[in-house]
Structure formats: C-alpha cells, structure tokens
Amino acid sequence: MSYSFDPKTISDTLTREVSVCELANVGVTFGSGSEGNEVLQDINLSLFAGDFVCVLGSSGCGKTTLLRVLAGYQRPTTGIVTVAGKRHSEPDPDVGVVFQRPNLFPWLTIAKNVEFGPKMKGVSDRERKQRVSATLEMVGLSEAANFFPYQLSGGMQQRSAIA
C-alpha cells in the first residue's frame, strides 16, 4: 500500500483553518512623546485550537504585556486583537486567566473560592456545588475543599486558582 500527499491540498486545508486568537501589527507603548516606552512593536501572531505556546524572554522584554493584551487586560496602542473572530479589547467573561501568583480570597475556603465565579454569574446552588466538586476533583483537591488558602502549599493554592 502506498501513501501520497499533495502539498497544495495540505496548504489549502491549513489556510482555511480559523485562528482562535490573532494579533495583527500589535504594539504597546507606555507613556507618550519622547518619554514613551515602546514595549511591544508590530507583533503578528495567530493561535489555533490545540496550539501549545511558550512565551520566553528576559525580564522586562514584554512577555507579561503580551499576555495582558491577549487576555484583554491591556489595550494595544496599535494593531488589532481578535478572539474567535471578534475584535477583542476588554476581558472576556468566558476566558480564564491564571496569574503567576494565586489570587484567592484568604477569608474563603477553597470550595467557596472556586464557587465565587459561577455564583457571580447567577449559576444555581445545585449546579455550583456540582461544578465545584467536579473541578476540585479534576485538579486533585477534593480533600482540601474546606481548607483555607493559608493551609495549602503554594502548588495547591495555584491548582485552586486554576479550578
């Protein structure tokens, strides 16, 4: 049995694929005029479903600014950001962001921290309990549901934030 492929067919298939997120000529400058600090310049990036991306660079090179632009927390000075085909300029309630340091409410248990987002969106008590249970199980923290953040290791706190 022989296999053959046509590079043009593969190329056509790839070009029809729609990007999940796209940055076109994105730039970010902090400050203005001669005092302006250009952090990002003419960034062009397309991310597709299933992509695994690692952003590397020295301290202060713009990694965090790039991620803030992607998340909608930072508006670009120039260029366009699209997510799922729509122009993106502010945080999307359906997009989750995991910060470098876990952002948990110290006065709430881990379960209550996980429940906070769905509660604010008006999800029913029953549905919230199911989601919290499933999510904590997914990150391996079912046993820590009633603990407070200070009672967990840094890694466990980060998994709680992911949940």
Looking at residue 17, what is its pLDDT? 67
CATH class of the structural domain 12-87: alpha beta
Res 155: pLDDT: 92
CA atoms of 14 and 126, how far apart (whole Å): 43
Phi then psi dihedrals of residue 23, to 5 deg: -115, 130
Examine the pLDDT at 4 and tell me if it is beyond 80.
no
pLDDT in tens, 59-112: 989 998 998 898 888 999 999 999 888 887 777 776 777 777 888 999 999 999
Dist. CA 20–CA 17, nearest whole Å: 9
At residue 87, the 3 state secondary structure works out as: strand
Residue with tokens 């190329």: 11
> Which residues make Cβ contacts (< 8 Å) with residue 68, sequence separation at least 6?
74
Q: Above 50 in pLDDT, residue 6?
A: no
The model's pTM = 0.63
Residues of the chain within CATH 3.40.50.300 domain(s) are: 12-87
